[in-house]
Amino acid sequence: MSESLTRLEAATLGLLADEPTHAYALRARLAPGLPPEGRPNDGVIRPLLARLQQRGLLRHQRSRVGGRERKVFHLTAAGRRAFAAWLESDRHEGRELGADLFLDQPFLKLLFAGHMTPDQLQAKVDSIRAGAGARREALERLGDGPGRSVIGAELLRLGIEREQATIDVADRLRRALAG
């Protein structure tokens, strides 16, 4: 397949390779343990599934699930090949240093601190810290539940450590701003 997969496309194909499912269940599987408002919404998932279907990577069949008629999505042979190629590639492994270092993290707005008053800057750092604390607590509540794979447990631990690192940076910034 010549067209590369985005992270969300690859994750979707991987989840569907594990088990065919409908859009609503897929939303929950893409963000396990998060409340519905924290999951990718239908405005993201449904167009994504439609694009993957147009590219010949998915097909669907109508099935009754939980008493409701649903489109259950399955990988096609091309979808399996695209997912296998993505797994074998080094795409999305973060080998190169790129703009996402600054753009894909909670401190992006602080790059523009010169446009904030000291009070606004302090409030922004406090807000970032509070958000990281809430995310860390949510991840900790997920715990190393029974049946969680070693890899799943390590990824959960990585998420907790990443949020803790954000808290630590926010704490250093708070001290610097106060002094």
Long-range residue pairs from 14-21, CB within 8 A, at least 24 positions apart, any chain: 14/83, 14/87, 16/58, 16/73, 16/74, 16/75, 16/79, 17/75, 17/79, 17/80, 17/83, 20/72, 20/73, 20/74, 20/75, 21/72, 21/73
For 71-130, write each residue's pLDDT tens digit: 999 999 999 999 999 888 887 676 666 666 666 677 888 888 889 999 999 999 999 999
pLDDT at 2: 44
Which alpha helices (H) appear in the chain, and where do they start and end? 7-18, 23-30, 42-54, 77-88, 100-103, 118-142, 150-178
Q: How confident is the model at residue 62 (pLDDT cuts 50, 70, 90)?
A: very high
Contact 13, 57 (CB under 8 A): yes
Report pLDDT for 49: 96
- pLDDT at position 1 is 43
Please determine, for residue 20, whether its predicted confidence score (pLDDT) is greater than 90: yes
Q: Tell which CATH architecture fits domain 100-178.
A: Up-down Bundle (1.20)
CATH number for the segment(s) 7-88: 1.10.10.10
For helices 23-30 and 42-54, angle between their N-to-C axes, nearest 10 degrees: 110
pLDDT of residue 59: 97
pTM value is: 0.67
Q: Is the pLDDT of residue 70 over 70?
A: yes
CB 110 within 8 A of CB 124: yes
Q: What is the mean pLDDT of residues 150-164?
A: 87
**Angle ∠(171,93,52) on CA atoms, nearest 5:** 115
Ranges of each domain in the chain:
7-88, 100-178
